């Protein structure tokens, strides 16, 4: 029972982080969705423009076909890039990396909200539900947990560095507790990302009839 109690305690400790990140993410997503919907409703001629932009971008990115392990790997590795990709690991730099995370949250919220609205207008709301919900159920919580873990990392490390710089002793139990939380939240997010990538590669295409 001990590990379960620790996991529960860790989630309880970080509930403010999880709640705030979830609220911020969904707020941005909803605002983006509403704005995109309003723009597309008032100027339908933009739909074709967007479709051509999306069509062109597909020629630049080599997306593997559905039902393949390559697609699964691409989605999974892209989603957990903060943990391994040298171009994106710098979000772990204490305090400074948090600003970059804010930008990513904003960008992800805007893009997902915009795409959801765009597909609802062009292909109907059922297509959006079938295309985003199955993997979104796992991916969005994974994304929120990943960001919560990163936020906990920034709080823990900044506090420790500040203590060291100001000549005080580092509160070791607090540091260990913070690092444990980071590990746990990151682990959960990676597992959820793996499930989400599997659903996106092998199950969602079935729903969309691909």
Q: Which residues make up the interface to other proteins (CB under 8 A)?
A: 16-17, 20-21, 23-24, 27-28, 31, 35, 39, 42-43, 45-46, 95, 98-99, 101-103, 105-106, 147, 150-151, 154-155, 158-159, 162
CB 113, min distance to other proteins, A: 13
If the CB atoms of residues 189 and 204 are measured against other proteins, the closer one turns out to be: 189
**Smaller CB separation from other proteins, 91 or 132:** 91
Q: Which is nearer to other proteins, 42 or 169 (CB)?
A: 42
Residue with Cβ nearer other proteins (7 or 34): 34
Residue 102 in contact with residue 151, Cβ under 8 Å? no
Both structure tokens of 110: 């805007």
93 phi, psi to nearest 5 deg: -65, 120
Residue pair 90/97 in contact by the 8 Å Cβ criterion: yes
Least distance to other proteins from the beta carbon of 2, Å?
Answer: 27
What is the Cα–Cα distance from 151 to 106, expressed in whole angstroms?
15
Interatomic CA distance for residues 109 and 32, integer angstroms: 7
Question: What is the closest distance, in whole angstroms, from the C-beta atom of residue 43 to other proteins in the complex?
Answer: 5
Tell me the C-alpha distance between 126 and 131, whole Å: 8
CB of 134 to other proteins, least distance (A): 27
Q: Cβ(91)–Cβ(99) under 8 Å?
A: no
Structure tokens at 151: 């936020």
| Residue number, 63 or 95, with CB nearest to other proteins | 95
What is the distance between the alpha carbons of residues 105 and 24, in angstroms, rounded to a whole number? Answer: 8
């Amino acid at each position: 029972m001990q590990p379960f109690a620790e996991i529960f305690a860790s989630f309880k400790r970080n509930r403010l982080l999880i709640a705030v990140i979830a609220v911020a993410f969904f707020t941005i997503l909803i605002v983006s969705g509403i704005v995109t919907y309003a723009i597309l409703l008032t100027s339908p001629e933009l739909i074709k423009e967007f479709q051509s932009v999306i069509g062109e971008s597909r020629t630049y990115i080599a997306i593997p076909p559905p039902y393949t392990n390559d697609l699964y790997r691409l989605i999974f590795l892209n989603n957990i890039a903060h943990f391994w990709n040298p171009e994106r690991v710098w979000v772990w730099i204490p305090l400074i990396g948090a600003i970059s995370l804010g930008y990513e949250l904003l960008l992800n919220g805007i893009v997902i909200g915009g795409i959801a609205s765009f597909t609802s207008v062009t292909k109907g709301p059922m297509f959006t539900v079938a295309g985003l919900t199955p993997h979104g159920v796992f991916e969005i919580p994974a994304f929120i947990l990943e960001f919560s873990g990163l936020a906990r990392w920034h709080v823990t490390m900044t506090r420790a560095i500040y203590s060291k710089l100001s000549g005080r002793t580092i509160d070791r139990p607090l540091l260990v507790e913070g690092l444990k939380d980071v590990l746990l939240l990151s682990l959960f997010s990676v597992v959820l990302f793996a499930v989400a990538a599997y659903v996106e590669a092998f199950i969602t295409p079935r729903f969309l009839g691909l």
